[in-house]
Structure formats: C-alpha cells, structure tokens
Amino acid sequence: MSDGHTPSGGSTRLNTGVAHNARVWNYWIGGKDNYEVDQRVGEHVAGMFPIIRDIARADRDFLGRAVSVLAGDRGVRQFLDIGTGLPTADNTHEIAQRLAPDSRVVYVDNDPIVLVHARTLLTGTPDGVTDYIDADVHDPDAIVERAGRTLDLTEPVAVMMLGILNFVLDVDKARDIVRRVMAAVPSGSFLVLTHPTFDDELGGAGQIPAMKFWNENATPPITARSGADIAAFFEGLELLEPGMVSCGQWRAEPGSAVVVPQYGAVAVKP
C-alpha cells in the first residue's frame, strides 16, 4: 500500500473523493501520487483482475521500447504524447532526449492532478523542448492547433496514444480522433498505441467484470475492445514489425516478454 502521500497543489476540478484513472494507474506502478480512495479501488480491481499490475508495467515498458526505436532507429525528433498520465521515471521526453537531445515533446492531458505535476514534465535538455497542453482527447482539433505552436507539423511526429482511446467509449468517435490527428501530421509520422482488449487469446475476459466495477466506482468510464476494433485504428498506416501484439511482447528482449490483455503497435504514415 502507499504511504498515504497525497499530491500537492489543487484545482477546482480535482475531486479526491472519487478514484481517478491517472492516480490509480500511478498506484499500480508503485507511484505515490494517489489518494486513499485510489488505493482502495486499485486494490479491489487488482483482487478481481490480478494481472492489472502486469498490464500497467507492460504498458510503461512498451512506451520505453517504442520511443527508443523511434528516436534511435527512425530518427524521429518530435513526439505528441496524448493522455500522458502522471509523471514517473523515464517519461517520453527523457527517453527521447537521452537518445536525441534536440527532441521536441508535447504532452497532452486534461486530468487536474496531472496538470499539478506538469512542471515535472517540462524539465528537458537545453537543446530540446518540452511543453504541456491541458486539453481533452475528445477535441483533437484543439490538440493539433496547440501542439503546432511547439511542434513543426510539416516534419514527422510520433503520435503517442497509450491507454487513452479506451476512455472514448464510442468506437466511431475514437476512430475519428485518430484520423483527425494523423491527418494533421505528414508522411513519415508514426502512431504509437496501446489499448485493453477482452480477447480470450490474450486472457482478456477478466477485463469485463473489472471494468464494470471500475465504471461504477471510479472515473472516467472505460471500455475494452476486440483486436479487430483496435486494429481499425491503424487503417491507412503501415505497421512496424511485429505488428499488433500484446504490448508486453512488442520487441521485448528474449525471455522477458509477458502476455497481457493490452494490444500495442507502432505504425508509420506512408
């Protein structure tokens, strides 16, 4: 359990009486930026679906591998991280700027507790740029407009959407968000995405009752999707090897791959 540390700062939107995803996720990966209500709900969900902590860690490790591939092997120097969550170790800008100090990174979230800690995300290298946008994934046009103040949208951008589209409950709306953002970036840009699934082959059946409990006791509401629905987010893009797989398996070191019910993939815009 957490030591009870509570985040500093505040916001008119901050509700500490209801568990919130960013803080529960932070609790699952061993962070301290969470409240007692987040710990209670987190423990209950973990009791129903013990693999949830493995999912949280696998998702975070996937982010590290994907950013390393894009900044290192693919020469990407711009990252738009939508739904970044609470800062932890090895955030997107730290990984990218370690490999390429001139990397430019824009974080996007609309959680007030993330906003309180955004200053942690703004300490990058002298040669690079980091910025934070307080915006909602449901408003992709606003995200693109504001990101364009920091990023050069005529040059390739890696669009990061890790564990965020599962909070867009309508699948057509979620696809439209992806299309709008990817339409705003040029050829050679990338989409990096993870999403929970209920597919049996990845052990996802347990997501359904756990998410039902979550939606009754925490915010924001969440949904899992089939692999086919998740694959549709990559329509018109070209998947990098090994394609769309459990995020714990994507380019993992031999012997370290873990199968979790969360798909992950990286795709390039032709």
The whole-number pLDDT of residue 169 equals 96
The whole-number pLDDT of residue 116 equals 77
Q: Residue 7: pLDDT above 60? A: no
Higher pLDDT, 84 or 1: 84
The whole-number pLDDT of residue 254 equals 87
Q: One-letter amino acid identity for 41?
A: V
Strand duo 190-196 + 262-268: pairing: antiparallel
Span 54-63, mean pLDDT? 94
The whole-number pLDDT of residue 2 equals 30
Question: What is the per-residue pLDDT across 127-186, written as a single tens digit (0 to 9) for each?
Answer: 899 999 999 999 999 999 999 999 999 999 999 999 999 999 999 999 999 999 999 999
Model confidence pTM above 0.75:
yes
Question: What is the per-residue pLDDT across 187-218, written as a single tens digit (0 to 9) for each?
Answer: 999 999 999 999 999 999 999 999 999 999 88
The whole-number pLDDT of residue 3 equals 35
Span 107-115, mean pLDDT? 84
Q: Is the dihedral of CA 23, 24, 26, 32 positive or negative?
A: positive
In 3D, which of 49, 56, 65 has the Cα closest to residue 213?
Answer: 49
The tokens 């989409």 sit on which residue?
Answer: 191
In 3D, which of 209, 215, 248 has the Cα closest to residue 53?
Answer: 248
How far is Cα 120 from Cα 52, in angstroms, rounded to an integer?
26
Question: What is the per-residue pLDDT across 212-237, written as a single tens digit (0 to 9) for each?
Answer: 999 998 888 999 999 999 999 999 99
Higher pLDDT, 254 or 178: 178
Q: Residue 40: pLDDT above 50? A: yes
Higher pLDDT, 187 or 115: 187
The whole-number pLDDT of residue 121 equals 67
Span 234-245, mean pLDDT? 98
CB-based contact 259:202 (threshold 8 Å): yes
Q: Residue 77: pLDDT above 70? A: yes
Specify which residues 246 forms β-bridges with.
263
